[in-house]
Structure 1
Amino acid sequence: MNIQQISATTSPTEYLSINGRTLAYRTMGKGRPIILYHRFRGVMNLWDPAFLDALAGQGFQVIVFDYTGLGLSDGTPSYNPIDMAADARDLIAGLGLRDVVVGGWSLGGMAAQAALTLYPDHISHLVLLGTTPPGDLAKLAEQLFYDLAGKESYSIEDITALFLEPKSATSRAAAVRSQARIDDRHEELSPPVPVEFARPLLVHGPRSPAFPAEPVLQMLKSTQIPILHIGGDHDIIFPVENWYALNEVLPSVTLVTFPQAGHGPQHQHPQLAADIIASFVRNQ
């Protein structure tokens, strides 16, 4: 199969053994590499294929992976963003990548920020989706996220409330379309993240800071590496208002906010999100 014909629903799973564990990953497209960290309880096949394919269509080599010890990867799992940062570092080294864009959604956005703090020489741009800055927050999360995120499985209503905007008919319809695309992959599915592993992160409920990492905040305040955050105007876990509260102290952060959207803006607007990312990387 020609690499240009490989889509997110057909991309084969590959494996990289490095630093004592094996990372499972998939790649589609060719060009500038972009490595994407997933959300809380996310595995490779839970990205919206339309978003990944749109990025590939914009000239990116898109790389998604399962975190150490989760999905199809082995090793000891951790949801500490500092520990998680090593996954992108090792993919970059093991695959011999250069001039890499690192992205992250939600919890993965925290890991991506940690990666830029720890390994800045490996990263050209940072792309964040529905995540939080470190430090004290101007607006807390909603309890609804904590009530839903620890459920054994998600209904389409749960998915809409968690990742989109149930108040909007347009967003509700986008949730159905996005989930249908995700469900279209049937081969080499990554096992779900065990709920017993994930639930302990939810017991504290809304808190400030959500990401207590002072070195990461200092990096954001001093780096000249271009950073893009794409969010929704009603993100129930990581309100976009917390990024705007730091406007005057983040010299390289560009903020884009979609209206009538929630925690997963790239699933509601896959092509638009990919277009914005591509333009940002080309022009910054």
Structure 2
Amino acid sequence: MIETMIEQYRVRVAQALDQRLPAADLHPGDLHQAMRYAVLGGGKRIRPILVYAAGTAVGATLEALDGPACAVEFIHAYSLIHDDLPAMDNDDLRHGQPTCHKACGEALAILAGDALQALAFQVLCQDAAMNQSPTIRLRMLGILAQAAGSRGMVGGQAIDLGAVGRELSLAELENMHIHKTGALIRASVLLGALSHPTVESTQLEPLDHYAKCIGLAFQIRDDILDVIGDPTTLGKATGADRALDKPTYPALLGLDGAREHARSLGQDALASLASFGAEAGALRWLAHYIVERAY
């Protein structure tokens, strides 16, 4: 039942993304083709699914959630384009396909990432189905901007670059990933919840804690999969973290320790949903999935 709902969210956001992306034949066509290549080429869609799951948990309509779901995925896609560039992680594959800069050229890939970042905020500003007040919409814009910027994802990436070759403490490693990975996951949950016009702070606070926990658990599992994952299943090469001498949870805690830390965070996330009923079933399913996923 829940897995069927998750798949429905995945199908829904794919359609919503297609509708909100510029058409490939709209000038400048090369840029719009690169944007569509980066966004529609696959992926788990965890962040937009979290938007739908959190919004559903507080009673938001799916129509009101389509815009925020697309906005977070556009930010995520832009970040992957830039992360894959030669100046960053220098990856050749993403979702089993050539990365955007390999398929479209490095310059066009950079521009596609830039354009997707701008499109995310345009969608939040203009999406007609969002029925929030101007005050709430501004709050949502601020949440996404902070999650994407120097105090969120981009800042975490800068910390990551500066940590290459260094041994970090657990607190330093978690601080890096709270920003690099966790910030956008947290924003996804909050944007979903705020898509209901009368959501209450007593609902937002436990959802925010849930998001912080699964954001870290997601990164820990990513680190584990870079060691033990199947490249065919993952759609990208493994062992990149070790090759680049990056600090990771398995390197710091060992594989068993990293697994246990992820499970502990997953249990903490589930505990934060105690005040929610069956309407938070998708959020509970996602907490389990994030901790145990194979890709």
- The TM-score normalised by the length of structure 2 is 0.28
Higher helix share: 2
Higher strand share: 1
